[in-house]
Amino acid sequence: MAQVPESGGDSGKGGKKRAKKMSTALDMTPMVDLAFLLLTFFMLTTTFNKPQTMEINMPVKPDNEEEQIALKASNAMTIILGENDKLYYYFGLGDPAENPELVETDYSANGIRKVLVSPKVKSNDKMTVMIKPMDKSRYKNVVDILDELKITDTKKFALVEIAATDKQLVQTKTGQ
Amino acid sequence: MPKVKVKRTRPTLDMTPMVDLGFLLVTFFMLSATAAPEKVVVVDTPSSVSEIKIPDTNVITISIDKQDRVFFGVDGQNTRAALLDKVAGKYGISFSPEEAKAFSLIGEFGVPVSQLKSFLSMPMEARKAYNSQAPGIPIDSLKNELGDWVLQTRLTNPKVVIAIKGDVDVNYETIQTVINTLQDKKVNRFNLITDMEQRPTNL
């Protein structure tokens, strides 16, 4: 601490009476209190980590339906997000005539992620994943599945509205 | 033998470095602080491994809370003032200068345009209390005001990006309606606000 040495007050007997020098040491406690109060306040009010975002691009709605190129059934996979965090998937376009095999899975690392890294999906770079959330599925499910696609580095995917045939499939599956 | 007197001195601590550090931190936080935006609705966002940060400015935030209410917010006082002008013109409502001022300072809001005038004339505390029971911005196909807000904001400030902040438990139906609304306004690129999550290392 920078201290000013106090000069002796009583040098020389009977000298002039000097004003007693005050000590320059300050009690800094209140200042420190205030400083830390401010520090705490600013630390708590600052938002350091801005929220993360996930960017999604929806396909532009085509002006006429005929210009769309049909997806080949062998390059399609459909994931259906059901209610109560249920998850189903099948390969193909879900044409009832083809009788697609609906498989139930979950959001865990051994569930849908295993399917997405399986050779059937990974080795086919034309494979397009269609995500069809049912009306009763939660928003979290959608973000979770988009996240899985990101983790497994699946580039081609689309968020599609669920078709009646898909609902039918889930119904027969759960009805069993 | 006389006892050896241990000289007792009050322990003194040199606080100067601590104070120095304290003030350094205070200064740092004061300068770097941007006050956290006021939380109008409680939204518990889902988590993802995405590492993209949302930009600081020119953001439209569409919050959807547990009860499927939609709240709309845009940053920038000037943007908001100009936006209110446009919306007022479109809906044929006139706002007093006080109400316009209140709107330019508002955070997110969730009232239909028809109730906006009375909402803005409330004192700030009453407005805060009202937010917990606000009806939200109508998004149904008959009266889709969200679309108008988004469109008018984009006309006011073409640089805006749109962020959707949905609650974990919102039904997808509502999100779908919001997304459809945005797509109707030719917005095909938007951000979903999420929390951070560790990316799993083993696949």
Q: Is residue B17 part of a domain?
A: no
Q: Is residue A88 part of a domain?
A: yes
Residue-number span of the structural domain to which B56 is assigned? 47-196
Q: Is residue B21 part of a domain?
A: no
- Write out the two tokens for B41: 């609705």
Question: Does the structure show a pLDDT above 60 at B159?
Answer: yes
Q: Is residue A57 part of a domain?
A: no
Q: Is residue B35 part of a domain?
A: no
Residue-number span of the structural domain to which A84 is assigned? 75-175
Between CA A54 and CA B147 the distance in angstroms is 22
Q: Which residues contact A146 (CB under 8 A, 6 or more apart)?
A: A54, A56, A131, A157, B48, B192
Domain count, chain A: 1
Chain B residues close to A140, C-beta within 8 Å: 46, 168-169
Please judge whether B163 and A53 are an interchain contact, meaning their C-beta atoms are less than 8 angstroms apart: yes
In this prediction, residue A10 carries a pLDDT of 46
Domain count, chain B: 1
User: Residues A156-166: pLDDT tens digits?
Assistant: 788 888 878 77
Please judge whether A47 and B30 are an interchain contact, meaning their C-beta atoms are less than 8 angstroms apart: no
Chain B residues close to A149, C-beta within 8 Å: none
ipTM of this predicted structure: 0.71
Q: Is residue A28 part of a domain?
A: no
User: Residues B133-151: pLDDT tens digits?
Assistant: 888 888 887 778 888 888 8
CATH of the domain at A129: 3.30.420
CB nearest A39 (choices: B22, B196, B200): B22
Give the minimum alpha-carbon distance from B88 to chain A in angstroms, rounded to a whole number.
Answer: 30
Please judge whether A51 and B54 are an interchain contact, meaning their C-beta atoms are less than 8 angstroms apart: yes
pTM for the model stands at: 0.72
User: Residues B175-200: pLDDT tens digits?
Assistant: 888 888 888 878 788 888 888 777 77
In this prediction, residue A96 carries a pLDDT of 67
Between CA B43 and CA B64 the distance in angstroms is 7
CB nearest A150 (choices: B34, B49, B168): B49
In this prediction, residue B34 carries a pLDDT of 66
Give the minimum alpha-carbon distance from B193 to chain A in angstroms, rounded to a whole number.
Answer: 4
Between CA A143 and CA A53 the distance in angstroms is 11
Q: Is residue B150 part of a domain?
A: yes
Between CA B125 and CA B105 the distance in angstroms is 13
Between CA A107 and CA A141 the distance in angstroms is 8
User: Residues A97-107: pLDDT tens digits?
Assistant: 677 777 888 87
In this prediction, residue A44 carries a pLDDT of 79
**Beta strand A157-159 pairing with B47-48:** unpaired
In this prediction, residue B136 carries a pLDDT of 81
Between CA A150 and CA A140 the distance in angstroms is 15
User: Residues A3-37: pLDDT tens digits?
Assistant: 555 444 444 445 566 677 777 777 778 888 888 88
A147 within 8 A of B50, measured Cβ to Cβ: yes
Question: CA-nearest residue of chain B to A43?
Answer: B29
Q: Is some CB atom of chain A closer than 8 A to the CB atom of B175?
A: yes
Q: What percent of chain A stands above pLDDT 70?
A: 78
Please judge whether B173 and A150 are an interchain contact, meaning their C-beta atoms are less than 8 angstroms apart: no
Between CA B193 and CA A146 the distance in angstroms is 13
